[in-house]
Amino acid sequence: MPKPIYYAEIRNKIATEMLNNAELLAVFEKDAALVCEENMYTLCSEAAQIFETIQQLSKTDNLIPISRAVSVYTDTFLQQLLRGEKPLIIDLIVMASQTIQQFC
């Protein structure tokens, strides 16, 4: 199954934050659901898939700076993880929609 096009960017930013931010790592270690590597990769994949789908539905291919939008989306995603919350699908949809709308 191919990964969504934004998967690597989202995953890499989260991995970098985990390596540079002891607070984030401590949050993940406390929450057994987020410690499992497979689960974190699944979350990143879901986040990327949702962003890609919302971006395609909004038909904003050439209208917004995608790299900046993905960065803002990932920051929002990280903030939710830092609060110790595993984002639901609806949370990711709202985050993606708000981020894309912010750049329109």
Q: What is the pLDDT of residues 30-87, one digit of tens each?
A: 665 555 555 777 888 888 899 989 988 988 767 778 889 999 999 999 888 878 788 8
pLDDT at 89: 92
pLDDT at 1: 46
pLDDT at 66: 85
Tell me whether residue 88 is in a domain: yes
pLDDT at 22: 74
Separation in Å, CA 3 to CA 26, 30, 44, 59, 103: 28, 28, 10, 21, 24
Tell me whether residue 1 is in a domain: no
**Which tops the pLDDT comparison, 3 or 80?**
80
Tell me whether residue 87 is in a domain: yes
pTM: 0.80
Per the structure, the complete domain to which residue 85 belongs is given by 7-103
Tell me whether residue 17 is in a domain: yes
- pLDDT bracket for residue 4 (50, 70, 90): low
Asked whether the beta carbons of 79 and 35 are under 8 A apart, the reply is no
Tell me whether residue 77 is in a domain: yes
Q: Tally the domains of the chain.
A: 1
The tokens of 59 are what? 């038909």
Return the residue matching tokens 């998967």: 7
The tokens of 88 are what? 């639901």
